[in-house]
Structure 1
Amino acid sequence: MTQPVRILMCAPHHYDVDYVINPWMEGNVHRSSRDLAEEQWNKLYQVLKTYATVDLVPPQQGWPDMVFTANAGLVLGDVAVLSRFFHPERQGEEPYFQNWFAENGFQVHTLPKSLPFEGAGDALFDRAGGWLWAGYGFRSELDAHPYLAKWLDVEVLSLRLVDRRFYHLDTCFCPLTDGYLLYYPEAFDTYSNRLIELRVPAEKRIAIDEVDAVNFACNAVNIDRSQDGQVERIIVMNQASDGLKQQLNDRGFTVIETPLTEFLKAGGAAKCLTLKVTEPRHAAPNGSPLQSRVIRLEGHLLDSGLVSRALDTILANGGSFQVLNFDLGEQRQDQSRAEVRVSAPDASVMADIMGQLIDLGAMSPPQQASNATLEPVEKAGVAPDDFYVTTIYPTEVRIQDQWVKVQGQRMDGAIAITQTAEGPIARCKILRDLQLGESVVVGSEGIRTLRNESSLKSSKTEEFSFMGAGVSSERRVELVVEQIAWDLRRIRDRGGKVVVTAGPVVIHTGGSEHLSQLIREGYVHALLGGNAIAVHDMEQSMLGTSLGMDMKRGVSVHGGHRHHLKVINAIRRCGSIAQAVDQGILTSGIMYECVKNNVPFALAGSIRDDGPLPDTQMDLLTAQADYARLIDGADMILMLSSMLHSIGVGNMTPSGVKMVCVDINPAVVTKLSDRGSIESTGVVTDVGLFLSLLVQQLHRLQGQYGSGQAVSV
C-alpha cells in the first residue's frame, strides 16, 4: 500500500525580503507585500491539502526565510539530515528545524558546521532509480555528498550549478514520477548535463526554456494520488507556458498553477515552500562516486598567486576544496606550505583537475605519495589511453618508491619508462617515438612538476619585469631591447647558447644586416627557419632584392618576381648553401655568416616552398628532430616574425629557457606568451627596427665594458 504523502510547510507570518543572498532578492528588499504573500501561500496550502497531509512548523520572528521549508533538511525514511546554511542570515533556523525533526521521530544527522548543505533545496530523489541527485556550487558543498551517501545509504550523483539565478538544485531541476525529469540544462556545467543524459533516457527528459525557468517552473511539487484504481499525477507550480503544460499533459501529468510571485522576490516558489517528509526508500546501489585527494603546495604561495590559481582551477573544473592547513612561514623569505583536500564528482573529473594542479606544481603529501601508474606500449607510436600529457616544466615520476627525473622535457609528449640494470629511466617522448617494450605513465598519480619562483611569479607584481610573460607595446621597445642586450651579452660571455627562429619578414624589413652582425659577433649559436628566410636572404645578397623589391630604393625590379627562383636554382647547382659560399657564389648575408662562423641551421620545408633549397628538409619528422637537436641546451630563443616556426619551437622548449617573441602582429606575440611559460616576453614592433635597436644597444655595452669583460646582472 502506498504511504500517504506528508509535507512540511511554515506559514509566512514573518516573511519579508530583509537582505540579499541571491540575485532574485536584489532590488526587492522590503518590497514584498505580507498580505499578498499570506494569500498566495494559503492558496498553495489548500491545493496541497487536497492531495497530501500538510504539517506546519511554527514560524519564528527574525527568520523570514523559514517559510522555505525545503531547506530545513533532507529526509529519507526515518532519517533526516539537518541543513547547514551557507549564509548567516539563515543559520538561526537550524535549531527550530532540528527540534521539529526530533519531535516527529526522525533520527537526525548533523553535518560539521563548516560544511554547507541546504537540504532538499540541493538534494532531490530520483522517482524511478532511487538515487539522489545532489547539487553544489553556490549553497551546498560537494564534500557534504559522501555524508548523505553514508547516512541515507543511497547512491549520490553530484550536479554542479553554474548560473547564479538558479542557486539551488530545486530551482532548475525537478524529478517526476516514473523517471521523468523537468529541468533547465543551461543551469548546469557540461559534465553535469552529460551525467543527466546518461541516467535519464531522452524520452524522459523535459528540457525547459529560459522563460519557463525564470518563472520557476522547475520549482514544482509532484504528488501522485490513487483514486478508483487510477493514479493521478499532479504537478503544482507557480506558472508554466502553454507549450510546457502541453508537454506535461502529453506525459500524463496534470498541471496546477498557483501564483507565488511574492516568493519569487526572495528566489523561491512551490517546491521551496515545501519539504516532503515521506520519501520512500527504493532498492538502488548505495555509495557515491565522489573522489577525494589531498595535495600539497609549497613556495611563496601568496606572492606568486599560486594558492588562488590552484583553488580557482579546482572550482572552474567542477570540483570543490577544503584547506586543511596553511603555514605562511615567519619571514618574507620563508616558503609557505598548504595542504588542500580536493573533491570531484567522479574519477574523470578528478583526473582533469589533478592534471592541471600538477602543472601548477602541486604534489601529494610525502606520507601519501603513490607510485606512478604504468601501462605498456602495445603498438609502436601509440600511447595507452589516459596517458599523462607533459608540460614544459621539469617533471619527476615516482617509480618503485623513488622519484625519477624525466629526461628531454617538452610539452605535449608522453613519459616513457625503460627498465635498465641501473634502474628505471624516464624520458619525455612525442607519441610517434614510443616503442614496444616501453611503459607509459597514465593518470595523475605519482607525478610532480618542479616550478621555480620565476615561473610562478605573477606578472602583476611589478610595473615591468623582463621575461614576465607580458606583451610589450612599441612604446616600451627600448626598455625591452636594453634588457635583452644585457642577457645576450651575459650568455655569450659565459659560453651559453642563443637560438634564433626567423621568418622572411626579417629580410623584407631590412633586418638582414643586423641579424648577420649578431651571428658574426658570436651572439647567435643556431638558426631555425623555413625555406623562405634562406631564399630571400640570399636573393638580397646575390641580387639586391627581396621578393623582387629593390631593398635600397623600395621599388619593384623588372622581372624581380623571378629572382627567388634564380637564386634557388643557383644554390641547387652548387649543391648546398655551404658549397655556394665555398665557390664564391654567396658572399654576404645571414646564411653566409652561418656558414663562415660555423653556426648550425635547420630549414623546415612546407607545401608552399619553391624549389626547394637543397638544405631544406622536406620530411616534417626529420625537420622536427633537427629543430629539437639545435634547441637542446639553449639559454634563450629569439623568435623573429615567424608564427608557424615560433609556435613549433615553443612547444619543443622546456621551462627555464628564456624566450623573446618579436612580431608586428599582437596575436602572434600573445599566442607565444600564452603557451604556459611565465619566462616568455612578447614585443609588438617591426622586427627590422627591433634588430637595429638591439645591435645599437650591444655596441653601447661593448663600449662600456670592452670585448673581453663579462657582464653580470
Structure 2
Amino acid sequence: MLQLNVKNETSRLRSVILGTAESNGPTPQEHEAYDPKSLEHIKAGTYPVEADMIKEMEAVNEVFKKYDVEVFRPEIIEDYNQIFTRDIGFVIDDTFIKANILPERERELDAIQYVLDKINPAKIVRPPEEAHIEGGDVMLWDDHIFIGTYKGSDYKDYITARTNIHGVNFIKELFPHKKVKEFDLVKSRIEPRDNALHLDCCFQPVGKDKGVIYKSGFREEADYMYLVNLFGKENLFHIEREEMYHMTSNFFSIDTNIVIIEKNFKRLKNWLTERGFTVEEVPYAEISKQEGLLRCSTLPLIRD
C-alpha cells in the first residue's frame, strides 16, 4: 500500500507518477488544441514529435533514479497524449483527489488505475460534477493551499480556464483546517504570452521560503501582493513575459535544496545557484510547446 503524504511543493520526494510521451499520437488539428501555445505550434509546423519528447521525459526519469525516487508511469494508451499527469489528479496530505478534467481525457485516469489500486480507497475522492479543478492550479505550502482560478463571468467560454470557484469551495470544505487562498489568473484563448493556464505558470514556491513569480499573471494586484507579503519581496524571483511564455516557473523540486529546471532557463539557474540550490538541468523545450513543463508532467504521491 502507498501511504500518501504531500504537504508542500519542496520536501524530499519519495514517490511520483511521471507522464509518458510514448504513442503520443499524430499532431492534433487546429480545432483540437486545448491551449493557445499548442495552437501556435500546430499552425507553425513546429509541434513536438514523439521521439524528442520521449527523450526529454527519459532525462527527467534519470534524475529521479539518481535521487532514488520511486517512479510510476501511466499504462500506454495508443495514439494518446499522456504527458501531463498533474492535470488528472493531485495529492493533498494523505488524500488523492481525482480531477474533473475535460471529458475526452478521462482515459488518462484509467491508465494510472494500477497505482490508485495501491491506495486506501477511502483516501481517494472525486469532486462533484460542477467543481472543476486541475492539479496545475493547486499548490501546497504546509498550512496553506494556493489555488489558481478564473472568476470572469465568461468562464465557460475559456477552454484555458480549468478551475472554477466550485472547485475552490470543494477544497475548502475538504480541508477546513487549511488556509485556502484562491488567485484570479489572466486567461487568453489566442495569445499564449498572456495566458496563465494554471497557477504554476505564474507562481511556484521553491526551497523553504522562496518562490518564482510572474506579476502580470494575476488579474488582481491584491492577489500578487498576498504572495509578496507572505514570502517577502527579496525571496521572490520575478520573471518576465517571455520567461512566463517559456514556463520558467514550471520547474519541479525533489527536495528543499534540489530543483529540476529546463536547461535554457539561465537566469533562473543563476538565481537558484547563488542561493545554494543544486540545479538539475534537463532538455524540456519540446514538451513546453504544449503549454506544460516539469511540474505539469509529474504527480507527487509521497514526500517526507
- Structures share fold, TM-score greater than 0.5: yes
Q: What residue is the counterpart of 2:74 in the other structure?
A: 57
* Pairwise CA distance, 1:62: 4.9
CA distance, structure 2, for counterparts of residue 169 and residue 34 of structure 1? 27
* Aligned partner of residue 178 in structure 1, secondary structure: coil
Select 1:132's aligned residue among 124, 145, 164.
Answer: 145
Q: Is 2:29 aligned against 1:15? A: no
CA distance, structure 1, for counterparts of residue 266 and residue 117 of structure 2? 43
Q: What residue is the counterpart of 1:259 in the other structure?
A: 283
* Consecutive unaligned residues in structure 1, runs of 5 or more: 225-231, 281-713
Select 1:80's aligned residue among 76, 96, 105.
Answer: 96
Asked if structure 1 preserves the Cα contact closer than 8 Å seen for 2:73 and 2:112, the reply is no
* Pairwise CA distance, 1:40: 1.1
Which residue identity is paired with 2:24? Y
Alignment of 1:378-397 (within 5 A): none
Which residue identity is paired with 2:169? P
* Pairwise CA distance, 1:187: 0.7
Q: Is 2:176 aligned against 1:176? A: no
Name the CA shift for 1:68/1:131 in 2 (closer, same or farther; >3 Å). same
Select 2:248's aligned residue among 217, 235, 240.
Answer: 217
* Aligned partner of residue 302 in structure 2, secondary structure: coil
Which residue identity is paired with 1:22? D
CA distance, structure 2, for counterparts of residue 206 and residue 74 of structure 1? 26
Q: What residue is the counterpart of 1:67 in the other structure?
A: 83
Which residue identity is paired with 2:39? E
CA distance, structure 1, for counterparts of residue 242 and residue 40 of structure 2? 20
TM-score (norm 1): 0.36
Alignment of 1:295-314 (within 5 A): none
* Pairwise CA distance, 1:209: 1.6
* Pairwise CA distance, 1:4: 5.2
Q: What residue is the counterpart of 1:146 in the other structure?
A: 169
CA distance, structure 2, for counterparts of residue 47 and residue 235 of structure 1? 10
Q: Is 2:15 aligned against 1:6? A: yes
CA distance, structure 1, for counterparts of residue 90 and residue 296 of structure 2? 13
Q: What residue is the counterpart of 1:191 in the other structure?
A: 222
Select 1:103's aligned residue among 104, 118, 121.
Answer: 118
Alignment of 1:511-530 (within 5 A): none
* Pairwise CA distance, 1:276: 1.1
Deviations 1:105-136 (A, max 9, x none): 361111112321112x110112xx53111111
Q: What residue is the counterpart of 2:235 in the other structure?
A: 204
* Aligned partner of residue 113 in structure 1, secondary structure: coil
CA distance, structure 1, for counterparts of residue 128 and residue 112 of structure 2? 16
CA distance, structure 2, for counterparts of residue 143 and residue 213 of structure 1? 27
Alignment of 1:152-167 (within 5 A): 152=175, 153-164=177-188, 165-167=195-197
By relative contact order (CA 8 Å, sep 6+), the higher-ranking structure is 2
Asked if structure 1 preserves the Cα contact closer than 8 Å seen for 2:87 and 2:99, the reply is yes
Deviations 1:53-97 (A, max 9, x none): 212221323531x22111121202321111011x33323323444
* Aligned partner of residue 257 in structure 1, secondary structure: strand
Select 2:302's aligned residue among 261, 278, 286.
Answer: 278
CA distance, structure 2, for counterparts of residue 158 and residue 108 of structure 1? 23
CA distance, structure 2, for counterparts of residue 76 and residue 114 of structure 1? 20
Asked if structure 1 preserves the Cα contact closer than 8 Å seen for 2:92 and 2:140, the reply is no
TM-score (norm 2): 0.80
Asked if structure 1 preserves the Cα contact closer than 8 Å seen for 2:13 and 2:303, the reply is no
CA distance, structure 2, for counterparts of residue 100 and residue 145 of structure 1? 26
Asked if structure 2 preserves the Cα contact closer than 8 Å seen for 1:237 and 1:255, the reply is yes
Which residue identity is paired with 2:49? S
CA distance, structure 2, for counterparts of residue 141 and residue 14 of structure 1? 32
Deviations 1:180-223 (A, max 9, x none): 11121111122311221232212221111223222211111111
Q: What residue is the counterpart of 1:32 in the other structure?
A: 48
* Pairwise CA distance, 1:36: 1.0
- The count of aligned residue pairs is 267
CA distance, structure 1, for counterparts of residue 50 and residue 127 of structure 2? 33
Q: What residue is the counterpart of 1:122 in the other structure?
A: 137
Q: What residue is the counterpart of 1:708 in the other structure?
A: none
Which residue identity is paired with 1:88? P
Which residue identity is paired with 1:94? L
Asked if structure 2 preserves the Cα contact closer than 8 Å seen for 1:219 and 1:269, the reply is yes
Name the CA shift for 1:39/1:4 in 2 (closer, same or farther; >3 Å). closer
CA distance, structure 2, for counterparts of residue 11 and residue 55 of structure 1? 10
Identity value in percent: 21
Deviations 1:554-578 (A, max 9, x none): xxxxxxxxxxxxxxxxxxxxxxxxx
Name the CA shift for 1:197/1:4 in 2 (closer, same or farther; >3 Å). closer
* Aligned partner of residue 97 in structure 2, secondary structure: strand
CA distance, structure 2, for counterparts of residue 261 and residue 173 of structure 1? 19
Name the CA shift for 1:264/1:21 in 2 (closer, same or farther; >3 Å). same
Asked if structure 2 preserves the Cα contact closer than 8 Å seen for 1:216 and 1:238, the reply is no
Name the CA shift for 1:240/1:192 in 2 (closer, same or farther; >3 Å). farther
* Aligned partner of residue 48 in structure 1, secondary structure: helix
CA distance, structure 1, for counterparts of residue 265 and residue 57 of structure 2? 21
CA distance, structure 1, for counterparts of residue 110 and residue 54 of structure 2? 24
* Pairwise CA distance, 1:37: 1.1
Name the CA shift for 1:104/1:57 in 2 (closer, same or farther; >3 Å). farther
* Consecutive unaligned residues in structure 2, runs of 5 or more: 1-10, 151-160, 189-194
Which residue identity is paired with 2:248? A
* Pairwise CA distance, 1:240: 4.5
* Aligned partner of residue 255 in structure 1, secondary structure: strand
Q: What residue is the counterpart of 1:236 in the other structure?
A: 260
* Aligned partner of residue 212 in structure 2, secondary structure: strand
* Pairwise CA distance, 1:257: 2.0
* Pairwise CA distance, 1:161: 0.9
Alignment of 1:496-515 (within 5 A): none
Asked if structure 2 preserves the Cα contact closer than 8 Å seen for 1:238 and 1:259, the reply is yes
Which residue identity is paired with 2:104? E
